[in-house]
Amino acid sequence: MSATQTPRQAMPEQEPAVRARNFEEVPLGYTPEMAMAEAGRCLQCKKPACVQGCPVNIDIPGFIKHIAEGELDKAIGKIWERNLLPAICGRVCPQESQCEGNCLLGRKGEPVAIGNLERFAADWEREHHACVLPSSDDATGKKVAVIGSGPSSLTVASDLVLKGHGVTLFEAFHKPGGVLVYGIPEFRLPKDIVAAEVACLESQGVKLESDVVVGRTVTVDELFEQGFDAVYLGVGAGLPKFMKIPGENLVGVLSANEYLTRANLMKAYLFPEVDTPIPRGRRVAVLGGGNVAMDSARTAMRMGAEAVSLIYRRSRDEMPARKAEIHHAEEEGLHFELLTNPVRYVGDDQGRLRAIECVRMELGEVDASGRRRPVAVPGSEFTVECDLAIVAIGSGANPLLPGSTPDLPLNKWGYVIADSNTGKTGKKGVWSGGDIVTGAATVILAMGAGRKAADSIHEYLTWGW
């Protein structure tokens, strides 16, 4: 049977009715047999389009070939050449619009399940510890401070430590990982996987200092005074956006950042085993249509909600969330309230949320974003009863660090201006990348930015600014 005829290996998953009430991971992972069968579908293209779709240019046919031949240690080694967080990327990258979106097989049938294979290789390694990590170059004596510990910072740290530089990660929270630990839920990305990938960096010599809020505990300039030769800012886009509609401060209206931080970082879903509480909505409304909205809604489901509605102002086709997550959410019984915009929160006399007044939308002219602009249908107001509303309409640049670094050039929205090829900012010795430069984006783009910055920092430490 030719490769094109072999069907794509479906990922085994927890049953929707079961998983919608637990926090365990939804996709269960391939068996070695499934992985080899899937790897066998790859055409090993001479000019692999998949690689071009990958922001960090993993040698995709290379690692897939090793899986097909059962050389799993070599497969993970191949991935590590370009990406030290494969267990994470294999789970959360938007493959459908990157590697898999480009795969030749996708033109006629289904693309190779590159993400599933990447995850398989990484999980196999974590279970077997069969491989030796790449070794570091000789120590250069240079020191780099990396602020934040999200995917972008982790990439910078790993690249620079391999080149022999001393690297210290400074994290404001008590745990490293950025959005990977406080945002993305356990059922999509188990936290011990993030911990394992961070531990792997530490074993290579990266120092981690959590509980340090740069801009408060210590400033960027003070880090230079303490002897750091370069600073990388990977602080993410941690400023919650609200809709600025009446009733936003009612008890029961939370930003997705707050809801997910309580649930993931503070493990509040285990309350009262842990001390941090989380509101358990009976009827929950989530505002937004991206990954953050899906994660919030699916978390609410798992917290025992009777009904969860996702309120999104455009249509389903425009939802920015990963296709797989929209599909999972739907299977789990989430209700989509599409082409709908909230106009006002309604509370009771105790200041608690009772309902949201909404208006129906229709799609009008194409706007600057290339999507048809939603416009309100006059007189179409209706109410959605709910006791918990989670606002997941995006996030902006948190001004805390930039505000304490006055000579760091920012754009008009408060994001750090950095060269897209090198990550260099307008302040000498300072690089930046990830969500704090681009605005909320993806794990792999944050990693790609980290890689470029690491190259540029290395060049600087070797040759000068």
Residue from 236, 279, 288, 374 binding ligand FAD (CB under 6 A): 236
Determine the interface stretch with another protein among 111-119, 214-222, 426-434, 438-446 (rule: CB under 8 A). 214-222
394 in Cβ contact with 384 (< 8 Å):
no
What is the Cα–Cα distance from 265 to 149, expressed in whole angstroms? 14
Q: For residues 215 and 252, which CB has a smaller minimum distance to ligand FAD in the complex? A: 215
Does 117 bind ligand SF4 (CB under 6 A)? Our answer is no
Q: Does 196 bind another protein (CB under 8 A)?
A: no
Query: Does 351 contact another protein by CB under 8 A?
Result: yes
In one-letter notation, the amino acid at residue 430 is V
Give the separation between CA 429 and CA 333, rounded to whole angstroms.
50
The answer to the question of residue 52 lying near ligand SF4 (CB under 6 A) is no
Q: Which is nearer to ligand SF4, 104 or 410 (CB)?
A: 104
447: left (phi over 0), alpha (psi -120 to 50) or beta: alpha
Task: Specify the residue, 60 or 154, whose C-beta has the smaller distance to ligand SF4.
Answer: 60
Judged by beta carbon distances under 5 to 8 A according to partner kind, the member of ligand FAD, ligand SF4, another protein, none in contact with residue 48 is ligand SF4
* 351 contact choice in another protein, ligand SF4, ligand FAD, none (CB below 5 to 8 Å, kind-dependent): another protein
**Per CB under 6 A, which region of 111-119, 178-186, 307-315, 349-357 contacts ligand FAD?**
178-186
Peptide bond between residue 272 and the one before it cis (omega within 30 degrees of 0): yes
Contact flag: residue 400 with ligand FAD (CB under 6 A): yes
Whole-Å CA distances, 137 to 56, 160, 161, 451, 460: 22, 10, 8, 17, 17
What pairs with residue 337 in β-bridges? 311
CB 85 within 8 A of CB 447: yes
Q: What is the 3-state secondary structure (H, E, C) of 201-244?
A: HHHCCCEEECCCCECCCECHHHHHHCCCCEEEECCCCCEECCCC
Supply the DSSP symbol for 133.
Answer: P
Based on CB atoms, which residue is closest to ligand SF4, 83 or 398? 83
The yes or no reply on residue 115 touching ligand SF4 (CB under 6 A) is no
Q: Any residues with CB less than 8 A from the CB of 17 and at least 6 apart, and which? A: none
86 contacts ligand FAD (rule: CB under 6 A): no
Of residues 60, 179, 223, 392, which one binds ligand SF4 by CB under 6 A?
60
60 binds, among ligand SF4, ligand FAD, another protein, none (CB under 5 to 8 A by kind): ligand SF4
Q: Which residues would be at the binding site for ligand SF4 (CB under 6 A)?
A: 42-45, 48-50, 60-61, 103-105, 112, 114
